[in-house]
Amino acid sequence: MGNDINSARELRLPESLCEAGEQMIKGTRFKTVEELLSFVLQELTSCKSAQSEAQERKVIEERLRDLGYL
Protein backbone atom coordinates (compact mmCIF):
# COMPACT_ATOMS: atom_id res chain seq x y z
CA MET A 1 0.00 0.00 0.00
CA GLY A 2 1.54 3.34 -1.05
CA ASN A 3 1.52 6.48 1.02
CA ASP A 4 1.64 8.94 -1.90
CA ILE A 5 0.32 12.20 -0.48
CA ASN A 6 -0.31 13.49 -4.01
CA SER A 7 -3.10 10.99 -4.44
CA ALA A 8 -4.45 11.71 -0.95
CA ARG A 9 -8.07 12.30 -0.13
CA GLU A 10 -9.41 14.75 2.41
CA LEU A 11 -11.42 13.43 5.34
CA ARG A 12 -13.57 15.50 7.65
CA LEU A 13 -13.37 14.85 11.38
CA PRO A 14 -15.00 16.70 14.28
CA GLU A 15 -12.72 19.45 15.62
CA SER A 16 -12.87 17.97 19.15
CA LEU A 17 -11.62 14.61 17.88
CA CYS A 18 -8.73 16.27 16.00
CA GLU A 19 -7.76 18.14 19.17
CA ALA A 20 -7.93 14.94 21.22
CA GLY A 21 -5.75 13.23 18.61
CA GLU A 22 -3.21 16.06 18.72
CA GLN A 23 -3.04 15.77 22.51
CA MET A 24 -2.60 12.03 22.22
CA ILE A 25 0.40 12.16 19.87
CA LYS A 26 2.37 14.78 21.81
CA GLY A 27 5.82 13.37 22.46
CA THR A 28 5.31 10.37 20.17
CA ARG A 29 6.74 9.61 16.76
CA PHE A 30 3.47 10.61 15.09
CA LYS A 31 3.88 14.15 13.85
CA THR A 32 0.29 14.71 12.79
CA VAL A 33 -3.15 13.26 13.36
CA GLU A 34 -3.09 12.20 9.69
CA GLU A 35 -0.04 10.04 10.41
CA LEU A 36 -1.75 8.46 13.39
CA LEU A 37 -4.90 7.67 11.42
CA SER A 38 -2.88 6.34 8.48
CA PHE A 39 -1.05 3.99 10.87
CA VAL A 40 -4.29 2.73 12.39
CA LEU A 41 -5.90 2.20 8.98
CA GLN A 42 -2.81 0.44 7.66
CA GLU A 43 -2.90 -1.90 10.65
CA LEU A 44 -6.58 -2.58 10.12
CA THR A 45 -6.41 -3.13 6.38
CA SER A 46 -3.23 -5.19 6.16
CA CYS A 47 -4.57 -8.51 4.91
CA LYS A 48 -1.94 -10.90 6.25
CA SER A 49 -4.55 -13.23 7.67
CA ALA A 50 -6.61 -13.19 4.47
CA GLN A 51 -3.51 -13.99 2.38
CA SER A 52 -2.69 -17.00 4.53
CA GLU A 53 -6.28 -18.21 4.31
CA ALA A 54 -6.24 -17.98 0.52
CA GLN A 55 -3.02 -20.05 0.43
CA GLU A 56 -4.50 -22.64 2.77
CA ARG A 57 -7.66 -22.94 0.68
CA LYS A 58 -5.48 -23.43 -2.39
CA VAL A 59 -3.57 -26.29 -0.73
CA ILE A 60 -6.80 -28.11 0.11
CA GLU A 61 -8.25 -27.54 -3.36
CA GLU A 62 -5.11 -29.02 -4.91
CA ARG A 63 -5.37 -32.08 -2.69
CA LEU A 64 -9.02 -32.54 -3.59
CA ARG A 65 -8.10 -32.19 -7.26
CA ASP A 66 -5.34 -34.84 -6.83
CA LEU A 67 -7.93 -37.18 -5.37
CA GLY A 68 -10.34 -36.45 -8.20
CA TYR A 69 -12.93 -34.75 -6.02
CA LEU A 70 -12.74 -31.32 -7.67
Partner 1 sequence: MSEPKSLLLVTVDCLRADHTGFMGYPQPTTPFLDQLAAESMVFPKAITAGAPTYYSFPGILASRFPLALGREVVGIAPGEPTLATALQQAGYRTAAYVAANPYLSSRFGYAQGFEVFHDFLSEQLPYAREAPRARTRLNRQIAELAHKVSLLGRLYDDLYFQYCQRIALPRNETWNSLRRFPAANVLADHACGWLKSLDDEPFFLWLHFMDPHAPYYPPAEALKAMGKERASPTRGRYLNATWNGDPGARRLRKSRDEIVVLHDAGIRWVDNQLARLVESLRSSSRWNSCMFVFTADHGEEFLDHGGRFHPPSCAYQEILQVPLLVRVPGAEKKALSESPFSLVHLAPTILEALGMDAPEEFEGRDYWSEVQSGEGWDLAVSESIGRCTNPMDAQKRLGARVLVVQDRKFKLVLGFDNQQEDLFDLQRDPHELEPVPIGAERSARGRLLRAALHHLERRPSQRRREFAIRARIHQIGLEWDHSKMRSETPAS
**Where on the chain is the footprint of partner 1 (CB under 8 A)?**
40, 43-44, 48-50, 52-53, 55-57, 59-61, 63-64, 67, 69
Closest separation in Å from C-beta 62 to partner 1: 10
> Do residues 36 and 47 lie in contact, with contact meaning Cβ atoms separated by under 8 Å?
no
Q: Look up residue 11 and give its amino acid.
A: L
Q: Which is nearer to partner 1, 18 or 37 (CB)?
A: 37
Q: Tell me the closest approach of the beta carbon of residue 6 to partner 1, in angstroms.
A: 27
Distance CA 37, CA 9 (A): 13
